[in-house]
Amino acid sequence: MKGVRVKFFIFLIVTIAAIWSLVPTYNLYATLPRKQKALQDEKAEIQRTGDSASMRTRMIVWDRAYADYQQERNKTSKASLHLGLDIVGGMHLTMTLSDTIQIARDRISEAIQADLKVIEGRIDKLGVVEPVLQAAGDRIIIQLPGVVDEARAESLIGKTAVLDFRMLAEDRKTEDVLNRIDNFFKALQTGDSASANAPGFRTYVSTAQGEMAIDEQYFPIVAGMLAQVDTTTLMGDYHFFFGPKTRAQGGDVRPMYLLKREAELSTADGKLIDKAYHRIYQGTDDPAATNTFIVDFTLSRSPNPKYNPIAKFATTTQRFVNKRMAIVLDSMVMSAPVIRSKIPDGSGMITTGDVSGDKARDLAIVLATGSMQAPLKVESAQRIGPSLGADSIRRGVQASLIGAALVILFMLIYYNVSGLVAVFAMAMNMLYLFAILGGVLHATLTLPGLAGLALTVGMAVDANVLIFERMREELRWGKSVRVAVENGYQRALPAIIDGNLTTIISAVAIYFMGSGPIRGFATNLVVGLVINVITAVYLTRLVYDFALSQFQMRTLRI
Amino acid sequence: MVQIFKDTHIDFIKLRRITLPAVLILVLASLALFFIRPHRFGVDFVGGSLVQVRIFGPKAPVSTEQMRATLEQLGAGGASIQKFGESNEFLIRTEKVQSYGGEKFSDAVLGALRQEFNCDSASLAKDPKSAQADSVVKRMDTTIAPRMGRELQGKALLAVIIGLFGILIYVTFRFDFRFGTCGVGALVCDVLITLGIFAALGREISIPVVAAFLTIIGYDINDKIVVSDRIREDVRKFRKDGFADIVNRALNETLSRTFLTGFSVLMVLLCLIFLGAAAIQDFALTMAIGLLVGTFSSILVLPQLVTEWEKRMPSRTRRI
């Protein structure tokens, strides 16, 4: 039979293509982890043995090898089947627009898209493999599979990272503003102006390391007081900003600065920072920063003559030599150094006081990736511990394998050789399904997705049972093997088609209505059932036709 | 040839005097149960915080009461506590998203539990092998804003309703309106009864459980189509026989298929129930209940409904 041979050939090609398309998935989960481990071992080895000079050269080689590995991994990952967060564990973040800034409705999606870009850059630096980022209305959904440092990821992703440079007020000006606010509150309490003994604003302002500082316990009070005052009349062109909480002799304090309300340079106006790196500071100009991590930055050189950060920085630093300029990140004063001379090349450094390097590294990342157009806040953070994920996947796989083995055993006992044909069809069904999910759709497998697979297997068993029961009936009525096979398939077909089609209809409804994990269920089911009709009906038929054409079959083992 | 059912002649249709009222009672009981004891929805739906912890060390085993007392001190007495079997693993859930002394729920719970159940340095020195310095281990921790929950809830329900409507149209087109209505009706009854049993067991509806319900619906549709298909075929083949006889014959003919497929799937589900992890157990248990309900309804409810309909409104043409 020529037709059978052609069909057999097509089947063979499809199967080879399916296996081929699963190669990246195999590499992602089997080959690459081994490679990564080897690289990590090598790094540990280099750091342990080498002296500083040879270590540096070896590390450069290693860095290149690691970059190659990461590139390969990203490429492979794009062509693979992924495991969902509920299976491998990881982090699921939903960010939504923070209500601190009102954004016009028609600009929301634009702002979200811009923020998405920024987040993408930051996650890339975080080193998470195959993150999933989605914009959904006024939200951004982020999935970070695998082991993730949650706190770091949250702070890194959530930072608005608006950086600006503001001039500090002169001492005389500061004194003046402090007095005015002080008098304002004294007047509030006594009814008439300036009773010298009433507690005013200055009571809360102390000095620590040569800066104005607020005791941490008074910080809410001071913040509340500043929110009450009429800033334009009392502070003029200036405004109070605070630094991060620092340890002083009497307890924790927050340094306070009076800064120009208008920033000299700000990322809110456009891209400001070109490069940012962290390193250990070993200079002596700033003794407090010695041996802590700092971030070196270079401003961007914009071709636009109207907005050129480097030129602006040069003129500003020239104008304000020997004055203090504050570097402010998200309204928090990072440092306030004195400008010693004009800075023509747009380079500078930010002291962080960080000794471990993590904070400085993350600061460098957020500076280099730019600031968000619209501030975001974390709406929900779902963390799925990898231990549970690993445990549940191991036990689930074990249980499914045992279950599958039992079904196979049952089919073999009940249907004999024909059972083997059915098992073969099911195996092919799974192979093709995984090939389409992994090699074509690059889908993510979740727990509901596995449910879709389970239903597919159930329907595959059912299709074969339907066909075999029909064949048995035909044989019982004394039909020949050839006729029994022919009629068995023909009679079982309407039930199989109708059953699979109705299930596909409901799965399609679920796909279009459902969201996230439920969609995975629907996708797997639809793809699985379409393949099921092909493998359970046409592929098994091919096996019988092949056997009938090759052997003189008097009896059918069914 | 191994065969389980050999040439059976069970009068399924006669059973309708029992099965149809029984189904009605079960459906009503399920509906009543929804009001008496509403379903508990997981954090996926209602929002809230959830933390799963495991306690080791000499202070284990810890009873649910001890756990409750510790949580009450924290001010989280309203949280639900679920213990997993004999392992000292607890699932603690609160629907209120609030901060506990400036901390997140999971951190606060963990802190309180560590204070209570971590072993002191004395017992650590005495028996360093069995005692671990940190005896409370966090296994999982989830926070979900409820806003997302409501959306998910509505969407899942709408998806099922639209799906059912699509099936009704398809079956009406391929069979006839009678089979479509009875099929979808039986399907709805199956889902309601399964939900009722689920509520009676006091289980919580989570995403895997929703997935299980979707799977059951899919399986159940297929089951009903297979039975309907055989009835359709036999009605064409045996034009002279009475409708009830034809339906009975069709049911007996498909009985072995109904059993074989159901048994195969049930076998896998039992494996998952007894060997799988908690999340998968919930899924498999829901499916097993739905599988049994659906399989029985395919041979004890759907054909009887169609027969009843035929009796009251005989179709002259018998175009089924």
The closest alpha carbon to A92, from A439, A384, A481, belongs to A384
Of B236 and A56, the one with more pLDDT: B236
Tell me how crowded residue B160 is: count the other CB atoms within 10 A of its CB.
21
What pLDDT, in 10s, does the model give residues B90-106?
Answer: 878 776 655 666 677 77
For chain B, helix, strand, coil in percent to 5 are 65, 10, 25
CA distance A397 to chain B (A): 8
Are B163 and A383 an interchain contact pair (Cβ–Cβ within 8 Å)?
no
Strand B204-205 versus strand B40-41 pairing type: parallel
**Distance separating alpha carbons of residues A395 and A393, to the nearest angstrom:** 6
CA distance A251 to chain B (A): 20
pLDDT of res. B320? 45
Task: Please give the share of chain B, as a percent, with pLDDT higher than 90.
Answer: 31
Q: Please report, for residues B243, B247, B303, the alpha-carbon distance to residue B14 in angstroms, rounded to integers and kept in the order given.
A: 12, 11, 11
The closest alpha carbon to A358, from A443, A292, A314, belongs to A292
State whether residue A220 sits within 8 Å of chain B by CB. no
CA distance A219 to chain B (A): 16
State whether residue A273 sits within 8 Å of chain B by CB. no
Question: Closest partner residue to B264 among A94, A407, A515, by Cβ?
Answer: A407
From chain B, the residues in CB contact with A469 under 8 A are 254, 256-257, 260
| H/E segment holding residue A214 | strand A211-215
Are A385 and B159 an interchain contact pair (Cβ–Cβ within 8 Å)?
no
Q: Report the length, in residues, of chain A.
A: 558
State whether residue B71 sits within 8 Å of chain A by CB. no
Are B261 and A407 an interchain contact pair (Cβ–Cβ within 8 Å)?
no
Are B229 and A494 an interchain contact pair (Cβ–Cβ within 8 Å)?
yes
From chain B, the residues in CB contact with A491 under 8 A are 233
Which chain A residue has the Cα nearest residue B222? A499
| H/E segment holding residue B90 | strand B89-94
**pLDDT < 50 regions, chain A:** 193-195, 387
Amino acid occupying residue A101? I
Radius of gyration of chain B (CA): 26
Which chain A residue has the Cα nearest residue B89? A388
Q: Which of residues 414-443 of A touch B (CB under 8 A)?
A: 414, 416
Question: Closest partner residue to A388 among B139, B167, B207, by Cβ?
Answer: B139
From chain A, the residues in CB contact with B274 under 8 A are 399
The closest alpha carbon to B160, from B205, B216, B239, belongs to B216
Are B272 and A403 an interchain contact pair (Cβ–Cβ within 8 Å)?
yes
β-pair partners for A94: A141, A380
CA distance A395 to chain B (A): 5
pLDDT of res. B226? 93
Beta strands in B111-201 (DSSP E): 136-144
State whether residue A410 sits within 8 Å of chain B by CB. yes
pLDDT band at residue B319 using 50, 70 and 90 as cut-offs? very low
CATH code: domain B48-144 is 3.30.70
| Res B21 pLDDT > 90 | yes
Selected residue of B214, B272, B282, B295 to mutate for chain A interface (largest A Cβ count, 10 A): B214
What does the CA dihedral B297, B298, B301, B304 come to, rounded to 10 degrees?
A: -160
**Distance separating alpha carbons of residues A385 and A146, to the nearest angstrom:** 9
What pLDDT, in 10s, does the model give residues B116-144?
Answer: 777 655 555 555 444 445 667 777 676 66
Which chain B residue has the Cα nearest residue A381? B143
Which chain B residue has the Cα nearest residue A460? B261
pLDDT of res. A381? 73
Q: Which of residues 226-285 of B touch A (CB under 8 A)?
A: 226, 229-230, 233, 253-254, 256-257, 260-261, 263-265, 267-272, 274-280, 283
Residues 6+ apart with CB under 8 A from B109: B51, B53, B71, B74, B76, B79, B92, B100
**Distance separating alpha carbons of residues B72 and A240, to the nearest angstrom:** 43
Describe the crossing of helices B177-200 and B16-36 by its angle, rounded to 10 degrees: 50
Which chain A residue has the Cα nearest residue B156? A514
From chain A, the residues in CB contact with B258 under 8 A are none
CA distance B274 to chain A (A): 8
State whether residue A503 sits within 8 Å of chain B by CB. yes
Tell me how crowded residue B151 is: count the other CB atoms within 10 A of its CB.
12
Which chain A residue has the Cα nearest residue B4? A414
Q: Which of residues 41-100 of A touch B (CB under 8 A)?
A: 86, 94
From chain A, the residues in CB contact with B272 under 8 A are 396, 399-400, 403
State whether residue A101 sits within 8 Å of chain B by CB. no
Q: Which of residues 207-236 of B touch A (CB under 8 A)?
A: 207-208, 210-212, 214-215, 217-219, 221-223, 225-226, 229-230, 233
In terms of Cβ atoms closer than 10 Å to its own Cβ (0-12, 13-18, 19+), residue A321 is: exposed
Are B214 and A411 an interchain contact pair (Cβ–Cβ within 8 Å)?
no
Question: Closest partner residue to A380 among B144, B263, B280, by Cβ?
Answer: B144
Are B148 and A379 an interchain contact pair (Cβ–Cβ within 8 Å)?
yes
Q: Report the length, in residues, of chain B.
A: 320
pLDDT of res. B127? 53
Q: For the domain with range B13-43+148-312, which CATH number is right: 1.10.10.60, 3.30.56.10, 1.20.1640.10, 1.10.10.10?
A: 1.20.1640.10
State whether residue B119 sits within 8 Å of chain A by CB. no
Of B3 and B278, the one with more pLDDT: B3
Q: Average of pLDDT values for B162-172?
A: 89
Q: How many CB pairs under 8 A join A and B?
A: 211
β-pair partners for A273: A299
Radius of gyration of chain A (CA): 34
State whether residue B144 sits within 8 Å of chain A by CB. yes
pLDDT of res. A539? 93
* Structure tokens, A427: 């195996």
Selected residue of B260, B274, B298 to mutate for chain A interface (largest A Cβ count, 10 A): B260
From chain A, the residues in CB contact with B264 under 8 A are 407, 410-411, 458, 461, 465
Which chain B residue has the Cα nearest residue A405? B268
From chain B, the residues in CB contact with A391 under 8 A are 277
What are the sequence ranges of the domains in chain B? 13-43+148-312, 48-144
What pLDDT, in 10s, does the model give residues B203-230?
Answer: 777 777 877 888 888 889 899 999 999 9
